[in-house]
Every structure is written in structure tokens, then in C-alpha cells.
Structure 1
Amino acid sequence: MLADESPKAMMISVPHDSDKEISEEYTNKAPTPPSSISEKAVSENEPISTHKTDTISKKIIKNGNLRIQVGDIKKAQNQTSEILNKNQAYIQKEEFRNTDTDENLNLVIRVPHKNFDALINSFSDGMGSVLSKNISSDDVTEEYTDVSIKLANKKIYLEKYRDMLKSAATTKDILEIQENIRELEDEIDVSEGRLRFIDDRVNYSTLNLSLYKEKVRSSATSKIGFGSRFGDSITEGWNSFVSFVLGIISFWPFFLLIPLIILLWRRWKARRKK
């Protein structure tokens, strides 16, 4: 076994990268995927059983985009709060935009995976008129399994290198083993971070909700009075007049050429008479 070999021999037969080839004897004993990222690597003295059949459950990431036209933004906000509390969801990001023509409230909502469908149905029923709806599901089980297997192997190799470090005979061997340990620890941190990210996206689905209200300026539907609309009309008329005057002024070179052309034409006509 590797534990009985000299430090140099062990360094040759066990590379630091788990994705590369290692000795045939060790490859045949590669571990099965751990049931969780916190599971400890198999110790050197513990035999690695090839009959272990730990499995990883399906990893499905759900995302949704929903745009709803509402009659009142504030009322829609209150309804949203009630729906979120009912489904144990929370707002990750909120953005409000108010223009002359419309009001927009954009929310990024995180909800437990099991409540995602119920949340979508709650917003779709009774909140307002659904303008657009897009739901997607992404199966990341294969990626999760692959990262888990590599992570488990890297942890085993890390323990091997730590044991090798204890019996290293030369300074060169010590430095090389320490460098391999450092690289393995960095790779393990990246893999564990990736698994945590996937778990977060799987356990909590994401919904991008947009609440939209169009401002209709008419006597039948708008709260804007006659005085305000009369003032707007005067302003628009004045702006149109100013635009007209500025447009005329922009033709000033032609105004200078016209008198010159007339003068030349009269002189030419006078000479022709003579």
C-alpha cells in the first residue's frame, strides 16, 4: 500500500490532482460519491469499499419570470407580502421605478423549492392581468454528482499527502508535498463552494416578479383634474410654438441668400433691357 512506500516513491505514484491517473491499485478503490459535502474522507486505515452505494437525490433548480399588470401598486404590494408570508418566501432584491407613463415594481423573490408552484399560482390568480410568464427547470444532478466524487477523492489524497509530510526525509520532498497540499486545499474550497451554491439554488427557487401599472390620462379613468390637464395643454402648445420658431431660425442661411439672389436677378434684368 502507499502508506508503506518511501516518501519519494509515494510522491510519484500519487499526483496531487485527483482528475489525473494514479496507481492502478488505488484507482480500483476509488470512493463512491458522499451523501453530503460535510462527509469526512475515508481514513488511511479504513478500507475503501467498492460496494458502497450512496446516492445523491435529484437536484432540480427552478426559476421563474412573471410580469403582472395591476390597478394599484400599493395594494399589489400588500397582497405580495401576504403571499410571501404564506409560502415562507422572502424578497432578495426590490426596485421601484415611476415615470410619466407607468409605475414598475421589480422584485427578486426566493422561495422554498416545495412552495414554488404554489407561489406562482397565488400571483397568477387574482393579483392582476398576467402579461408574461416563464418557468424553467434545470437538472444539475450530474454536475453535483461529478463535483462530489472529485471532492471526496481530493480529500482522500489530501490525507495521504499529510501522512507523507510526516515521513518526508528531505527539504525538497517537504516543499513539494506542502505545495501539493496547498493546491489540494484550494481545489477543495472551490468544490465545496460550488456544492453549497447548487444546494442553495435547489433548496430555494428564484422568481423575478414585475408589477406594472400603466398611467392612463383620460377624464374617465384618471384622477388628474381639468386644471392639471388644461395646464398641460398650455405647456404643450408653448413648447410647440418654441419648436416652430427655432425651426425657422435654423434656416437663417437661406434668408441671407434670398435677398442676394433677388438683387442679382434685378441687375441682370436691367442690363438686358439696356
Structure 2
Amino acid sequence: MTNLIFKKIVLILLVFSSFILFSSCRPAKKYAAITQDKGNYSNSSASLEKINLDKIQKNPKTPKEKRKILYSANLNLISALPDSINPQLERITEKYDGYVGRLSTTETTIRIKSEYFETVVKEIEKLGKVTRKNIYGNDVTEQYWDAQIRLDNALETRKRYLELLKMAQNVEEAILVERELARITQDIDLLKGKINKLDNLEEFATITISIKEKKKLGLLGYVGVGLYKGVKWFFVRN
């Protein structure tokens, strides 16, 4: 009889822990994005609205904490000296307490403290001609606090299981509780990993730079440009 009651208690804890761990899971909300293509801003997706980065940072705080915004940017650069871009990117990264995530002759990714995000983007723009610029602000506030609440509940559930383990009167009861303890501990580790990842992504913005070499004109190319400018002078003058 005692063994049956014990199993019922474990079952109740199991159902409760499963409910609190998964019932509050909601998808992340992509807050907004800005796309700049050759000087013109446009929506990069029908579901995304144009924003101002300063405006994002001034959003009201949640009951517990400020909103969590993950910043990222993609820039396409054209340079006459593409080999000189990466050394300059490394200097900029070191200057603003960041680190290089991926270094390549065609595409480099750097991580920068979010507080310097806009400043670094402006410095990178000076390294060559920007043909395309995408800036994103991903609001993960709800996702973050959902994970935090689930973690708190999971920790409390594990505490209950540990108390129940002390009450086990035989090996069968102990094995039953230890099995559930292993499962809840795994869930706790996953939730901690998710929270730590979001914290890191919030602290360090990600900037990806695609690098292309500026095409050099041949002799006929320069002649063509000269003719074009001459014709333009006849028809278009300020």
C-alpha cells in the first residue's frame, strides 16, 4: 500500500514537471529589420516593419527586466584592396572589445559588444563601398522569460524529487525517483544553456561582412566612361 502511494506521488510530480516545463513555451518574436540597398531603405520581409535602432532601445521595460533585443547586421563591401579589409576589421573588433567569429577572404563575421553596435557599423562602412546593408533587431524578451520561469519551476520540482528520494523505503522506489531526477536535471541543463545563449547573443551583436574586389576598367572601359560623361554633360547640367 505504501509503495502504491509513493508511486502516485511520483506520478503527480512527473505530470506537474512536464506541464511547467513545456506549457509556457512560445516562439521568439522577430522585432524588426532594416534593409539598405544602394542608399534606399526597404522592408526585407512583408512581416517586418522599418525601424530606428534608437527607438528599439527606448522600449518600456518588462515587469522584471528591460527588453532583450538581439542585434545583427549584414554588409556587402566592395574594395579596390580587398586583402586590406580583414586586418582593419580585426583592429576594429579589438578596439571595441569584440572577437572574430569567422575570418575569410570573402566573408567575415565579428562579434561586438551591443553598446558599440551602431558605431562599429559606421566604421565598417568607411572601409569600402557599401552595396547592401541589412540591420536586424530580434526581440526575444518573451522567449527569455518563458525559459527563466520554466527553469525556476524545474529547479523547484527537482527539490521535491530530492525530498522524495529521502523517503524511499526500498530500491524500487529509489530507482523510480532517480530516473525522474535524471530527466528533470537534463531539462534544467538545456534551459540553462538556452538562457546563457540568449544572454551572450544580447551582450554581443553579430556583424557579417561580405567582401568583393572592385572591378578594374580596361583601356576601352575608360574610353567608354569618358564618352558617357561627355554625353551626360551635354544633356544634364546643374
TM-score, normalised relative to structure 1 = 0.58
Contact preservation (8 Å) 2:7, 2:173: yes
Give the corresponding residue for 1:213: 213
Q: Distance in 2 between matches of 1:172 and 1:16?
A: 20
Matched, 1:198 2:198: yes
- Which of 76, 87, 99 is the equivalent residue of 2:96? 87
Give the corresponding residue for 2:121: 120
When the two chains are superposed, the root-mean-square deviation of aligned CA atoms in Å is: 2.5
Contact preservation (8 Å) 1:17, 1:154: no
Change (3 A) 1:117 1:11: same
- The offset of 1:191, in angstroms, is 0.7
Give the corresponding residue for 2:19: 20
Contact preservation (8 Å) 1:16, 1:184: no
**Identity percentage of aligned residues:** 22
Matched, 1:11 2:10: yes
Equivalence map 1:38-187=2 (5 Å): 55-96=64-105, 105-124=106-125, 126-187=126-187
Q: Distance in 1 between matches of 2:207 and 2:98?
A: 10
Equivalence map 1:27-38=2 (5 Å): none
- The offset of 1:211, in angstroms, is 2.0
Which structure's CA Rg is the greater one? 1
What amino acid sits opposite 1:90 in the alignment? Y
- The offset of 1:144, in angstroms, is 0.7
Contact preservation (8 Å) 1:16, 1:181: no
- The offset of 1:178, in angstroms, is 1.0
Contact preservation (8 Å) 2:86, 2:108: no
Contact preservation (8 Å) 2:80, 2:215: no
Q: Distance in 2 between matches of 1:212 and 1:176?
A: 61
Q: Distance in 2 between matches of 1:91 and 1:158?
A: 39
2:103 is paired with a residue whose SS is: strand
- The offset of 1:221, in angstroms, is 8.8
Structure holding more strand per residue: 2
- The offset of 1:17, in angstroms, is 5.1
Q: Distance in 2 between matches of 1:144 and 1:134?
A: 24
Q: Distance in 1 between matches of 2:220 and 2:199?
A: 52
Unaligned stretches of 5+ residues in structure 1: 1-5, 22-52, 97-104, 223-274
- The offset of 1:7, in angstroms, is 3.8
- The offset of 1:9, in angstroms, is 5.3
Change (3 A) 1:89 1:221: farther
Q: Distance in 1 between matches of 2:73 and 2:8?
A: 54
Note the alpha carbon deviations across 1:219-241, whole angstroms, 9 max, x for none: 4899xxxxxxxxxxxxxxxxxxx
Give the corresponding residue for 2:234: none
Change (3 A) 1:165 1:77: closer
Moved more, 74-83 or 171-180: 74-83
Moved more, 56-65 or 79-88: 79-88
1:79 is paired with a residue whose SS is: helix
Change (3 A) 1:132 1:160: same
Q: Distance in 2 between matches of 1:165 and 1:110?
A: 45
1:122 is paired with a residue whose SS is: helix
Q: Distance in 2 between matches of 1:13 and 1:111?
A: 47
Unaligned stretches of 5+ residues in structure 2: 21-61, 223-238
What amino acid sits opposite 1:72 in the alignment? L
TM-score, normalised relative to structure 2 = 0.67
2:71 is paired with a residue whose SS is: strand
Would you say how many aligned residue pairs link Structure 1 and Structure 2? 177
Contact preservation (8 Å) 1:110, 1:204: yes
